[in-house]
């Protein structure tokens, strides 16, 4: 079995899928095809693998290919050192994980200057090996090594023990057995490093088995340790480890003196070298698992936020709340075009409510605004109360909604924000962003680094490169799943389309500005740098709503236009019938696919596009909650039943916006009348759910909720 076959077999086993299917998907990736393109337009090849499965496959492919590179590097190093035996080569070849490989290579890895290397420099390695064999009297053997560098017998024995301790700590079998025990029986223990109030007080006297500690607790403990609030260690019974080492290194027939020397070396090797090394490995592994769990939560939450359904037809007043500097206002029309900006001071310390109300009323009437979008940041609560009062006073049908403003300030201070609105200050740009998020959350959020959107848990505690990779993949999948209007899309949105990079995105916008709106997808071929490969990847995701060719409005890929046209003839319909579900006759997909020489999944997708071209998957998601009144934290009482919006999902539950500015927590135990393994199994970000108040702590601003069936 060659390298690639071994990788395919492992991925297939990990994902529970046939090897042949995995091999075909990998071949598509190696050809340069993007995940969105494969997921949408190569369903026949992958047998319907979706974007999440394909991203998982890509991650595993990268992991195992790197493992193979590491394996080759180790074999090369061992060969260069002249220590590569057939047995050692077989062990390296059979190793299935990076940890196993590292354990095997560890004894041969070049080391920094250690007590053992110093002893070896003094020529004491033969003495150490002699003691391990247990054949000679230790003192008599040590006497042969006395010289200027080793003036006494005890010096010789001490150096030999240092060498033995390192040999023991590098032993692959010992490391594997004890590492397993550390996971199974070790305790993660944290204590306060200083007695003062902090977010980590629950961990000031905490211990939990390593195999049971929850991912979010691992990350919390790590952060507390990094911020010097906690001292964290792994506790483990020494005798369990020592018994394993003694079985490996203490022969039955050895003298008491040899036993004494070896026991001393074993205990030293365990405490000084092996345990600290394995403790780091265990904690690193727990952290790695916790980070991957956190990334899954980020993935799901960001996807929910990006797929928030657009609210077309709204003329919006965006409000970026503030205290001292006031609240910035931005009026936008149905297309998101900025109409006017203003600043009001309804909040402390100014409290100019009357003058501020007059400004808001004037703007609403002047621009015929029908919705107010309020950022949920600093002063958001007071701003919501103010807007609720203004709306109540006006004899107009006006609603307001609270918007998650995470990342708005990042956008407003960015080069992109400055280029888009050079005449506005930072806070005014933020108000525009808040307004536009209601109209089309996806189109606005793609302008922001997804790491700055802040949905999940402990985002600053996970590997930032990995976080960026995962979240960028989520954004790309969401953008391509929804599709992009080629006639209006911004460069940041176009950048997220499969096969389109920053340069091509800028060139598309430049082409549009110079030649006017795109009339057909074929016009894309005239865009600089957009060659055949890029066209193949992106064309199906770029839509032209008013195109003369109906298919250019749909998600049908140009490579399938010929099939689509033949299908129209087969159905005996005209282009005028397309877009009306009732005009599209039912057909036998299997028979039609055979006649047209196309795969069944592709044909099924074409039929769906005939019924509803460019269908937006966000239509299936509940619209944002709009309000006309406001509730105070003090108004809440145990037993009250309310409707709320899920704002964040974490390992231990879901935070729900019930209209009092402070989100309430539905603990995982309160999410359903059944066992819930993880909150994401029952709720996702953006869900509208019915809840009941369990308790309210006004002083700590904590609200405990339970879900209603």
CATH code for position 331: 3.30.420.140
Domain termination residue (choose one: 567, 587, 620): 620
Does residue 149 sit in the same domain as residue 206? yes
The residue behind tokens 């020592």 is 242
Separate counts of helices (H) and strands (E) for the chain: 29, 15
Q: What's the pLDDT band for 647 if we cut at 50, 70, 90?
A: confident
In terms of DSSP bridges, do strands 371-375 and 338-344 run parallel, antiparallel, or are they unpaired?
Answer: unpaired
Mean pLDDT of 474-500: 94
Q: Which domain holds residue 33?
A: 3-107
Nearest-CA neighbor of 457 among 232, 644, 299, 260? 299
Question: Which pLDDT score is estimated for 621?
Answer: 65
Mean pLDDT of 46-71: 96
Query: Which are the contacts of 540, defined by CB distance < 8 A and separation ≥ 6?
Result: 37, 40, 41, 555, 556, 557, 558
Does residue 354 sit in the same domain as residue 410? yes
Crossing angle of helices 51-81 and 98-105, in 10° steps, is 10
Q: List the CATH number of the domain containing 7.
A: 1.10.10.650
Question: Which pLDDT score is estimated for 457?
Answer: 66
Nearest-CA neighbor of 23 among 4, 39, 37? 4
Whether 447 maps to a domain, the answer reads: no
Question: Which pLDDT score is estimated for 624?
Answer: 63
What's the pLDDT tens digit per position in 309-359? 888 889 999 999 999 999 999 999 998 999 999 999 999 999 999 999 999
Nearest-CA neighbor of 369 among 355, 359, 380? 359
Is residue 157 scored above 80 in pLDDT? yes
Displacement of CA 56 from its chain's centroid (Å): 12
Question: Which pLDDT score is estimated for 623?
Answer: 63
Higher pLDDT, 378 or 145: 145
Mean pLDDT of 452-461: 72
Whether 455 maps to a domain, the answer reads: no
Whether 495 maps to a domain, the answer reads: no
Q: List the CATH number of the domain containing 698.
A: 2.40.50.140
Whether 323 maps to a domain, the answer reads: yes
Does residue 214 sit in the same domain as residue 140? yes
Q: How many CB atoms lie within 10 A of CB 443?
A: 22
Q: List the CATH number of the domain containing 524.
A: 1.10.150.310
Domain termination residue (choose one: 299, 328, 344): 299
Residue 277 burial (C-beta neighbours within 10 Å; 0-12, 13-18, 19+):
middle
Query: Which are the contacts of 437, defined by CB distance < 8 A and separation ≥ 6?
Result: 308, 373, 403, 404, 405, 408, 444, 445
Separation between Cα atoms, residue 617 and residue 557, nearest integer Å: 18
Mean pLDDT of 391-397: 86
Mean pLDDT of 88-109: 94
Does residue 99 sit in the same domain as residue 37? yes
Does residue 127 sit in the same domain as residue 80? no
Q: List the CATH number of the domain containing 236.
A: 1.10.3500.10
Whether 294 maps to a domain, the answer reads: yes
Separation between Cα atoms, residue 222 and residue 216, nearest integer Å: 10
Whether 468 maps to a domain, the answer reads: no
Mean pLDDT of 616-626: 69
User: Can you give the length of the chain in residues?
Assistant: 709
Whether 469 maps to a domain, the answer reads: no
Does residue 259 sit in the same domain as residue 351? no
Torsion over CA: 153, 157, 162, 163 (sign) = positive
Percent of the chain with pLDDT over 70: 97
- How many domains is the chain built from? 5
What is the three-class DSSP state of 63? helix
The pLDDT mean for the chain works out to: 91
Question: Which pLDDT score is estimated for 529?
Answer: 96
Does residue 163 sit in the same domain as residue 79? no
Mean pLDDT of 161-181: 95
| DSSP secondary structure letters along 640-696 | -EEEEEEEEEETTEEEEE-SSSSPEEEEGGGS-SS--S-GGGT--TT-EEEEEEEEE
Q: What's the pLDDT band for 402 if we cut at 50, 70, 90?
A: confident
Whether omega before 349 lies within 30 degrees of 0, making that bond cis, reads: yes
What's the pLDDT tens digit per position in 461-483? 888 888 889 989 999 999 999 99
Is residue 628 scored above 60 in pLDDT? no
What's the pLDDT tens digit per position in 131-140? 998 877 999 9
Does residue 149 sit in the same domain as residue 251? yes
Q: How many CB atoms lie within 10 A of CB 551?
A: 24
Separation between Cα atoms, residue 254 and residue 262, nearest integer Å: 10
What's the pLDDT tens digit per position in 255-303? 899 999 999 999 999 999 999 999 999 999 999 999 999 898 888 888 8
For 58-61, the CB contacts below 8 A with 24+ separation are 58/29, 60/10, 60/11, 60/14, 60/15, 61/7, 61/11, 61/26, 61/29
Do 145 and 123 meet the contact criterion of CB atoms below 8 Å apart? yes
Is residue 631 scored above 80 in pLDDT? no
Is residue 627 scored above 70 in pLDDT? no
Most confident range, picked from 136-145, 155-164, 651-660, 672-681: 155-164
Domain termination residue (choose one: 268, 299, 330): 299
Does residue 374 sit in the same domain as residue 413? yes
Nearest-CA neighbor of 693 among 651, 635, 648? 635
Most confident range, picked from 456-465, 527-536, 675-684: 527-536
Does residue 417 sit in the same domain as residue 511? no
Question: Which pLDDT score is estimated for 2?
Answer: 85
Whether 482 maps to a domain, the answer reads: no
Does residue 424 sit in the same domain as residue 551? no
Does residue 390 sit in the same domain as residue 418? yes
Do 81 and 92 meet the contact criterion of CB atoms below 8 Å apart? no
């Amino acid at each position: 079995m060659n390298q690639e076959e071994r990788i395919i077999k492992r991925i297939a086993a990990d994902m529970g899928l046939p090897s042949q299917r995995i091999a075909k998907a990998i071949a598509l990736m190696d050809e340069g095809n993007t995940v969105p393109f494969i997921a949408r337009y190569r369903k026949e090849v992958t047998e319907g693998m979706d974007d999440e499965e394909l991203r998982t496959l890509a991650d595993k492919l990268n992991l195992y290919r790197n493992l193979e590179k590491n394996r080759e590097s180790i074999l090369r190093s061992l060969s260069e050192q002249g220590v590569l035996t057939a047995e050692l080569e077989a062990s390296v070849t059979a190793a299935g994980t990076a940890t196993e490989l590292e354990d095997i290579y560890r004894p041969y890895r070049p080391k920094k200057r250690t007590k053992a290397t110093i002893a070896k420099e003094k020529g004491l390695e033969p003495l150490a090996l002699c003691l391990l064999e247990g054949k000679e009297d230790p003192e008599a053997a040590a006497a042969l090594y006395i010289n200027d560098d080793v003036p006494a017998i005890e010096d010789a024995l001490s150096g030999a023990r240092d060498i033995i301790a390192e040999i023991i700590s590098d032993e692959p079998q010992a490391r594997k057995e004890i590492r397993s025990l550390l996971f199974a029986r070790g305790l993660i223990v944290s204590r306060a490093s200083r007695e003062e109030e902090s977010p980590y007080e629950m961990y000031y006297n905490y211990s939990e088995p390593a195999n049971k500690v929850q991912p979010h607790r691992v990350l919390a403990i790590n952060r507390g340790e990094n911020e010097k609030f906690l001292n964290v260690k792994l506790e483990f019974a020494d005798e369990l480890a020592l018994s394993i080492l003694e079985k490996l290194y203490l022969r039955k027939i050895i003298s008491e003196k040899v036993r004494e020397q070896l026991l001393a070396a074993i205990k030293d090797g365990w405490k000084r070298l092996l345990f600290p090394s394995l403790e780091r490995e265990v904690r690193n592994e727990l952290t790695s698992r916790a980070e991957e769990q956190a990334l899954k939560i980020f993935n799901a939450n960001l996807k929910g936020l990006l797929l928030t359904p657009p609210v077309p037809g709204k003329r919006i007043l965006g409000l970026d709340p503030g205290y001292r500097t006031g609240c910035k206002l931005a009026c936008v029309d149905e297309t998101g075009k900025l109409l006017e900006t203003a600043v009001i001071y309804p909040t402390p310390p100014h409290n100019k409510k009357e003058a501020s109300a007059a400004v808001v009323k004037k703007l609403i009437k002047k621009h015929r605004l029908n919705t107010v979008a309020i950022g949920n940041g600093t002063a958001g609560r007071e701003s919501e109360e103010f807007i609720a009062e203004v709306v109540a006073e006006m004899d107009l049908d006006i609603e307001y909604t609270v918007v998650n403003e995470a990342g708005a300030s990042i956008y407003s201070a960015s080069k992109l924000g400055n280029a888009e609105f050079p005449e506005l200050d930072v806070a005014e740009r933020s108000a525009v962003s808040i307004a536009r998020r209601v109209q089309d959350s996806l189109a606005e959020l793609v302008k922001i680094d997804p790491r700055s959107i802040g949905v999940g848990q402990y985002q600053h505690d996970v590997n930032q490169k990995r976080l960026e990779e995962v979240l960028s993949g989520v954004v790309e999948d969401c953008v391509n799943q929804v599709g992009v209007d080629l006639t209006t899309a911004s460069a940041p949105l176009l950048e997220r389309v499969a096969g389109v990079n920053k340069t091509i995105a800028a060139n598309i916008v430049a082409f549009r500005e110079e030649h006017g709106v795109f009339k057909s997808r074929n016009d894309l071929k005239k865009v600089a740098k957009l060659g055949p490969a890029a066209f193949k990847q992106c064309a199906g995701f770029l839509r032209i709503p008013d195109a003369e060719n109906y298919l250019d409005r749909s998600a049908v890929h140009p490579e399938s236009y010929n099939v689509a046209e033949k299908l129209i003839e087969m159905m005996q319909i005209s282009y005028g019938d397309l877009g009306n579900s009732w005009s599209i006759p039912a057909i036998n997909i299997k028979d039609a696919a055979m006649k047209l020489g196309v795969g069944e999944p592709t044909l099924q997708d074409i039929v769906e596009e005939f019924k509803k071209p460019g269908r937006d998957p966000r239509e299936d998601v509940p619209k944002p909650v709009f309000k006309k009144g406001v509730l105070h934290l003090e108004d809440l009482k145990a037993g009250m039943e309310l409707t709320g919006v899920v704002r964040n999902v974490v390992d231990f539950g879901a935070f729900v916006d019930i209209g009092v500015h402070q989100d309430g927590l539905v603990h995982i135990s309160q999410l359903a009348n059944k066992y819930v393994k993880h909150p994401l199994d029952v709720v996702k970000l953006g869900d509208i759910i019915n809840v009941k108040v369990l308790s309210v702590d006004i002083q700590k601003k904590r609200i405990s909720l339970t879900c209603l069936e």
